[in-house]
Amino acid sequence: MQKYTLSEIVHHLGGKLVGNDKTITSVKSLEDANDEQITFLSNPKYRSKINETNAGAIIVKDGTQQGLPENKSYLLCDDPYLYFAKVMRLFNPMPKTIGQIHPSAVIHPSAKVPESCEISANVVICADVSLGENCRILAGSVIGTACVLDDDCVIYPNTVLYPKTVLGKRVVIHACCTIGADGFGNARDMKTLEWHKIPQVGGVVIGSDSEIGAHTTIDRGTLSDTVVGEGCRIDNQVQIGHNCKIGKHTAIAACAGISGSVNIGDYCIIGGAAMFVGHIEIADGTIIGGGTAVTRSIKEAGYYATCFPLQTKKDWSKNAVHIRHLDDIYHRLKVLEKKLSQSS
């Protein structure tokens, strides 16, 4: 079990200690923490709970500590939620590789697997694969031909990396992901209405320090690579189509669907279940609300959303009737405007 005094936490992460120094064993919520645990306050609406918490210390925003109980210890910082994230990592470091290969793993003789790597049961590593130092490939995963993984990558169980997938340093891919499957590339013969598959010969490149959530799929490019930039956070069950470019430090929430050849800029935030048509560009720093249908390029950063506000079914049914008649109402209004302009 990791243990740190409050002063040691400040030494590692910065901030300022107010109150008694004490030993902390873990991180818990305001409601559940005990005297050996640390918690945080980032949302002011929970401020009253500080009077009730049994936590040994509380992370709060510097400058907001006035009026808080004086019998508690505080770590003051600029951003409590960010500080909480760093404290969590301090107490919960990534597991170290054990440097062994399970007897049931199948590794092609041409693959390069350093002794520091951990290869779990039933893993398959194909020809010409190159693993960096301290990689962890967990049970049932398949690393396809000519894949390249840099140092400290973690591949969770039952993930498949198709051939020519390239991962930067410290990439984490959670369970059951499929990286590098064929993109949805088909050409239609308009005479016979038959579909002709376009071979997908590109790959997927994922930048260093990115994390891919469980059951997410990222398709390989048709000719060039599909690219996910460094430091990206891709949630569970996200679909990223072929030839997409996802900028660095962009976050995409669960169930988003991104069609082929979409170029999303750096530092964007994409809400859950957002949908993108193909061949559009999204400016750096753009925020897309959950459930939004993005049907055109966005050249100027901002907050964009097209979700219809939540309402009762009864109210929606009434509004749906009016929506069906919008075109008729529009033309009647134009006629009235014309008559008014002629009579004035």
pLDDT in tens, 289-332: 999 999 999 999 999 998 777 789 999 899 889 889 999 999 99
pLDDT tens-digit readout, 186-229: 999 999 999 999 999 999 999 999 999 999 999 999 999 999 99
Please identify which of the residues 215, 242, 279, 322 carries the catalytic annotation. 242
Cβ–Cβ under 8 Å, residues 218 and 235 = no
Class at the top of the CATH hierarchy for domain 4-91: alpha beta
Residue 264 amino acid letter: I
The residue whose two tokens read 């409050």 is 6
- 230-236 long-range Cβ contacts below 8 angstroms, 24+ apart: 230/168, 231/207, 232/206, 232/207, 234/210, 235/272, 236/174
* Residue-level pLDDT at 342: 87
Q: Could you tell me the end-to-end alpha-carbon distance of the chain, in angstroms, rounded to an integer?
A: 84
Closest by CA to 198, choosing from 219, 227, 217, is: 219
At a CB cut-off of 8 Å and minimum separation 6, what does 193 contact?
A: none
Closest by CA to 170, choosing from 209, 220, 135, 196, is: 209
Q: What are phi and psi of 343, to 5 degrees?
A: -85, -15
* Residue-level pLDDT at 102: 98
Q: What is the number of other CB atoms lying within 10 angstroms of the CB of residue 198?
A: 15
* Residue-level pLDDT at 310: 78
- 47-55 long-range Cβ contacts below 8 angstroms, 24+ apart: 55/28, 55/30
Residues in the chain where the model's pLDDT stays below 70: none
- What is d(CA 304, CA 149) in angstroms, rounded to the nearest whole number? 36
Q: Is 174 tagged catalytic? A: no
The residue whose two tokens read 């530092």 is 267
- What is d(CA 1, CA 110) in angstroms, rounded to the nearest whole number? 40
* Residue-level pLDDT at 309: 77
* Residue-level pLDDT at 311: 86
Q: What is the number of other CB atoms lying within 10 angstroms of the CB of residue 234?
A: 26
* Residue-level pLDDT at 246: 98
Q: What is the number of other CB atoms lying within 10 angstroms of the CB of residue 244?
A: 25
- What is d(CA 180, CA 204) in angstroms, rounded to the nearest whole number? 6
Residues in a beta bridge with 249: none
* Residue-level pLDDT at 343: 82
Please give the CATH number for the structural domain made up of 159-304: 2.160.10.10
pLDDT tens-digit readout, 176-193: 999 999 999 999 999 999
